[in-house]
A and B are shown apart, each in its own frame.
Chain A
């Protein structure tokens, strides 16, 4: 059970860095899967290409608005998850997570059931 003990600022920034890295990775993965160019993303957002480049290389600070705009430009819906530490799974290159026995947790090949009409 979590108790009300102050977290150190250093730990908070460390976790922030990890979470931010996850956001960058997700954004870059979506970009790779979109088959778009950075020029195309810039055009869709009516933004300068250098700005888009800075966002991808991590030198531009990411806000929630930035992430949302980038997601829209790449045809994606942004999803935010709060995962308890005990359920954190190791990430791989393609975003596949690993289970406790270190086997990859691959998506169900059949996919979800169709939605009711």
Chain B
């Protein structure tokens, strides 16, 4: 079964993934697809009892993730980045995990991987403050993403290509590391 077909199964009611569907205006359409781990999706949309600061942060997250779905310009520096795994210096990106980074405080990083061209699966999040503490925190998130991916898609590798434009449409390469 292909990864995409497995996503569709997971996106059924009660499944482990939800399709992220931002409010689309005018002629905006779902140009790219973004699937989100259900627990994370619930967090993004939960507003009951949330503080003003929390609602602001979540609004920014939804706005940021929505850009991906709307097909807006995506770069590999400001919008999302390949996560370096410095435990393996010769294979820094063999895990294929990316971090989407809304740049508003409090900042979070959303980890996940591409299932195929223009289709990203967001699996886990961590606050930027926590990640700042040490490289081990980044590695822990890579491991969490990899584990969740394996559980969701047994035997199916993440989608890895060399050039940014092979991952995502309307892309601008800014990250000089790759």
**A interface residues, Cβ below 8 angstroms from B:** 8-18, 20-21, 24-25, 57-59, 83, 85-93, 98-100, 102
Do most interface residues of chain A lie in helix, strand or loop, or is the interface mixed? Answer: helix
Determine whether the beta carbon of A57 is less than 8 Å from that of B73: no
Chain B's nearest CB lies how many Å from the CB of A14? 4
Q: How far is the CA of A13 from the CA of B104 in the complex (A)?
A: 11
Task: Give the interface size class of chain B.
Answer: 20 to 34
Q: Is B4 an interface residue (CB 8 A)?
A: no
Q: Is B140 an interface residue (CB 8 A)?
A: no
Contact with A along B103-114 (1 / 0, CB 8 A): 110000000000
B contact residues around A17 at 8 Å (CB):
59-60, 62-64, 102, 104
Determine whether the beta carbon of B26 is less than 8 Å from that of A10: no
Q: Is B96 an interface residue (CB 8 A)?
A: no
Determine whether the beta carbon of A16 is less than 8 Å from that of B63: yes
Determine whether the beta carbon of A14 is less than 8 Å from that of B26: no
Q: Is B42 an interface residue (CB 8 A)?
A: no
Q: Which of B60-103 contact A (CB under 8 A)?
A: 60, 62-64, 66-67, 70-73, 77-78, 102-103
Q: Is B151 an interface residue (CB 8 A)?
A: no
Q: Is B58 an interface residue (CB 8 A)?
A: yes
Partner of B103, one of A8, A11, A59: A59
Determine whether the beta carbon of B27 is less than 8 Å from that of A98: yes
Q: Which of B1-48 contact A (CB under 8 A)?
A: 22-23, 25-29, 31, 47
B contact residues around A21 at 8 Å (CB):
63-64, 67, 72
Q: How far is the CA of A109 from the CA of B47 in the complex (A)?
A: 48
Q: Is B175 an interface residue (CB 8 A)?
A: no
Known A14-B22, A18-B66, A88-B27; 17 more pairs at CB < 8 Å: A14-B60, A14-B63, A15-B59, A17-B102, A21-B63, A21-B67, A21-B72, A57-B77, A58-B78, A85-B26, A86-B26, A89-B26, A90-B26, A90-B29, A90-B72, A91-B70, A102-B27
